[in-house]
Amino acid sequence: MPAGRYAPSPSGELHLGNLRTAMLAWLFARSTGRRFLLRFEDLDLERTVPGAEEQQAEDLRAMGVSFDDQDGAGLIRQSERMDRYAAAIAELTQNGMTYECFCSRREIREATRAPHAPTGVYPGTCRNLSEDQRALRRAQRPAALRLRAPRSGAGVAEEFSAEDVLLGRITTAVDDFVIRRNDGAPAYNLAVVVDDQLTAVDQVVRGDDLASSTPNQAYLRGLLYGAEAAAQVQYAHVPLVLNTEGKRLAKRDGAVTRAALKDQGVDAEALRDLLLVSLGLPAGPLDRALRSFDPQALPSEPWVFQPPAS
């Protein structure tokens, strides 16, 4: 059965922006008859905070966000699915779709790019190295693995598009993006594509700061699982929550987590209602908001959170 998902990183408490996006992902999934899954994206073990999974799940339940079991598998953690990512990387490599990259971030920033190449696109420095050149570089620095995406004869990355329920068509150049980091860990773009496909997730709702990565992920999903699988995915990138300075909300902004607001007298129901009203939806249980939910009626601008007076 098709599904939507919410996929936090267990690096600490969820803030209001995270909770608001999770509520929206739940509303999108339930309004379209999909299951709704919780997946912890814990590939970066150094950033994983003990107890964060339990705290995040508790905060989500307090907002009324419920999840379905994944075919009896229970909780989904990326750290427990490394064999799936390795298999996908091996398939791409076997098909000649990857190459080793030894570039540092500084070298990429300072590299000369092809004329008319989009800003920030990998310049292809390691794309056509000889085996002798690769062997020399391996002795100096561990390699990341990049996807060998299509390029024009002039070396310019080709564009790819994906449709978004809220933003319309998203088009960006499909870069030679990293699919395995130089520490051996699968990269984010690879892991989310594999996870979504293997758990029947065909609806992706997340913050609009991630919209630019969508064409890359849609392209990779088509490459691994076929054009039909890629075309079936529904994307919805929702506006962020900002602080009073107009910057993306973060935990460092103070009273922006459920626990911090509770200490200031804002209980879970009041917080849920605050977030629902910010979306133009009626206060109360999420089931009530579900009856009024219309994606096209959602605010198109970020919401600026005003913390309660201390």
90 part of a folded domain: yes
Same-domain pairing of 96 and 169 = yes
Q: What is the pLDDT at residue 251?
A: 73
Higher pLDDT, 70 or 157: 157
204 part of a folded domain: no
The CATH code of the domain that includes 152 is 3.90.800.10
Same-domain pairing of 105 and 167 = yes
The mean per-residue pLDDT over the stretch 36-40 comes to 95
Domains contained in the chain, number: 2
Q: What is the pLDDT at residue 235?
A: 98
Of 48-57, 79-88, 106-115, 277-286, the one with minimum mean pLDDT is 106-115
105 part of a folded domain: yes
The mean per-residue pLDDT over the stretch 196-207 comes to 96
Tell me the two tokens of residue 306: 């005003």
Q: Is the pLDDT of residue 115 over 60?
A: no
Same-domain pairing of 70 and 93 = no
Same-domain pairing of 174 and 249 = no
The CATH code of the domain that includes 254 is 3.40.50.620
Same-domain pairing of 153 and 104 = yes
Q: Is the pLDDT of residue 119 over 70?
A: no
Q: Is the pLDDT of residue 309 over 70?
A: no
Give the domain extent around 56.
3-79+239-304
| DSSP class per residue in the chain | --EEEE----SS--BHHHHHHHHHHHHHHHHTT-EEEEEE----GGGPPTTHHHHHHHHHHHTT-----STT--SEEGGG-HHHHHHHHHHHHHTT-EEEE---HHHHHHS---TTPPTT----TTTT--HHHHHHHHTTSPPEEEE---B-TTSPBPEEEEEETTTEEEEEE----EEE-TTSPBPHHHHHHHHHHHTTB-EEEEEGGGGGGHHHHHHHHHHHH-HHHHHT-EEEEEPPEE-TTSSBP-GGGSS-BHHHHHHTT--HHHHHHHHHHHTT--SS-HHHHHHH--GGGS-SSPEEP-PPP-
189 part of a folded domain: no
224 part of a folded domain: no
Same-domain pairing of 69 and 133 = no
Which is nearest to 34 in space by CA: 71, 4, 6?
4
225 part of a folded domain: no
